[in-house]
Amino acid sequence: MKLLEYEAKEILRRAGLPVPQAVVLRPGDALPTVEFPAVVKSQVPIGGRGKAGGVAVVQNEAELAQHIDRIFALEIKGFTPHSLMIEQALEIDRELYLSIVIDTEAAEIVLMAHENGGVDVEDNNQSDFMRISLSDPHYDSVALQLSEYFDLPDQAFLLAEMVQTLKQVFVNNDATLLEINPLIYTKSKQLQVGDCKMELDDAALFRHPDWEFEADKVETNFVTLNQDGIVATVANGAGLAMSTVDAVAAVGLKPANFLDIGGGANEASVLAAFKRIVEYKNVDAIVINIFAGITRCDEVAKAIISAKNNLPNLPQLYIRLEGTNFEIAETLLQAESIRLFSSLETALVAVKKELS
């Protein structure tokens, strides 16, 4: 799951890292009172906003209002923002790059750094990045290496603290990526987090019942596989969603989509998924395969019932539910005469039979 910049920065701020002051703005909100210059930033779950016009430095209220309107309407790589972040602008001296990633081959947590960060970071040769293992680090020496590499000798102490905190944030939040680009070195010689990209491991949701991020609501986990497919799928967890698609294909039926409703799925988000599915012209069956942990079967059941009542052309449903609050879900569905299958296999046998 990808966090939005303001969500990631809030985590960093709480951990004590130097993050500029910011306010988050939703459509219809009044113009905030901010100090100028300020930066207006689109909160879409994708990078490259700067180049796409989604980041603007503004000098006064008129410019602020103008860019808020413009950026709210600006689509970037298929995403339009549900929120903007207005941040105190920094006077940039240098833009550096810092990230923590998992090197799966070496089975290590690794710090990557580059002296030329910013929007053109991809232009840097992959082999030019400085790579330091953080698996068993000595933070003072890591920081010394970094401060030499960045040519910021008087920042070694701060860098040591920063890297240590970042590693903690990375581990404590089950992150798979934590990227600060740019790490801004200001004209007043301070290091500040200019941008932060953070991805969390969905498989760790069970450890974080408090996780509630916008990414859950943006439906990034819905992928069309075949526009003319005849079976739509709804599952939770990327693994189960993939195996559901595979099982549909294995019985000789064309799957229309892949959908992982995610761990934090609720009635509204599941209903939103059904609305997308009814857009497919050829879909005659929806296979719902839920193994509930964090997701609760009763929430899914409520969404199913709501979809049945509100979407007149909803295709036939083939539902297999298991896990948290199954009994409640079963009672709810039975009251509506909605049938349940005990396994994905029996559900697919029924699909096969009824579609042919």
Which residues are near ligand GDP by CB under 6 A?
39, 41, 47-50, 55, 57, 89-90, 92, 95, 118-119, 181-182, 194-195
CB 38 to ligand GDP: min, Å: 8
When the beta carbons of 53 and 293 are compared against ligand GDP, the nearer one is 53
**Least distance (Å) between residue 218 CB and ligand GDP:** 16
Residue 229 partner contact from Mn ion, ligand GDP, none using kind-dependent CB cut-offs of 5 to 8 Å: none
Question: Least separation, in Å, of the C-beta of 49 and ligand GDP?
Answer: 3
What's the Rg (C-alpha) of the chain? 24
Binder of residue 114, out of ligand GDP, Mn ion, none (CB less than 5 to 8 A by kind): none
Q: How far, in Å, are 287, 292, 316 from residue 331 at the CA level?
A: 20, 16, 20
Q: What are phi and psi of 163, to 5 degrees?
A: -65, -40
Mask 193-212, x = binds Mn ion (CB under 5 A)? --x-----------------
C-beta of 48: minimal distance to Mn ion in Å? 8
Give the residue with the Cβ less far from ligand GDP, 48 or 209: 48
Cβ pair 122, 181 in contact under 8 A = no
Residue 235 CA to residue 243 CA, distance in Å, equals 9
- Binding residues for Mn ion, total number by CB under 5 A: 2
149-188 positions binding Mn ion, by CB under 5 A? 181
Q: Which lies closer to Mn ion via its Cβ, residue 95 or residue 216?
A: 95
Partner touching 278 among ligand GDP, Mn ion, none, CB below 5 to 8 Å by kind: none
Out of Mn ion, ligand GDP, none, what residue 262 binds, judged by CB under 5 to 8 A for its kind, is: none
The stretch near Mn ion (CB under 5 A) out of 63-71, 191-199, 227-235, 346-354 is 191-199
Nearer to ligand GDP, 85 or 205 (CB): 85
Residue 159 token pair: 């860098």
Catalytic residue among 5, 7, 179, 299: 179
Q: Among residues 5, 6, 87, 97, which one is catalytic?
A: 97
Distances (CA, A) of 138 to 30, 119, 122: 48, 31, 29
Q: Which long-range contacts link 334-343 to residues 24+ away (Cβ below 8 Å)?
A: 336/305, 336/308, 338/304, 338/305, 338/308
- With CB atoms as reference, the residue minimizing the distance to ligand GDP is 50
Instruction: Please say if 97 is a catalytic residue.
Output: yes
Helices 156-172, 139-150: inter-axial angle, 10-degree rounding:
120
Q: For residue 6, indicate whether it is catalytic.
A: no
Smallest gap from Cβ 185 to ligand GDP, in A, equals 12
Cα 349 from chain centroid?
Answer: 35
Q: How many residues does the chain have?
A: 356
Q: For residues 36 and 91, what is the distance between their CA atoms, to the nearest angstrom?
A: 12
Count Cα neighbours of 107 within 13 Å in the Cβ-side half-sphere: 0
Q: Residue 118 binds which entry of Mn ion, ligand GDP, none, with Cβ cut-offs from 5 to 8 Å by kind?
A: ligand GDP
CB under 5 to 8 A by kind: which of ligand GDP, Mn ion, none does 167 bind?
none
- Alpha-carbon distances of 31 from 69, 90, 260, 320, rounded to whole Å: 11, 21, 37, 48
> Which entry of ligand GDP, Mn ion, none binds 57, CB below 5 to 8 A by partner kind?
ligand GDP
Is residue 5 a contact residue for Mn ion (CB under 5 A)? Answer: no
Range 158-161 contact pairs with CB under 8 angstroms and sequence separation of 24 or more: 158/191, 159/191
Tokens of 18: 């130097």
Q: What letters, b where the CB count within 10 A reaches 16 and e where it falls short, cover 18-55?
A: ebbebebbeeeeeeeebeeebbbbbbbbbbebbebebb
Residue 328 CB, nearest approach to ligand GDP (Å): 43
Q: Which residues are catalytic?
A: 97, 179
Residues of this chain that interact with Mn ion (CB under 5 A) are: 181, 195
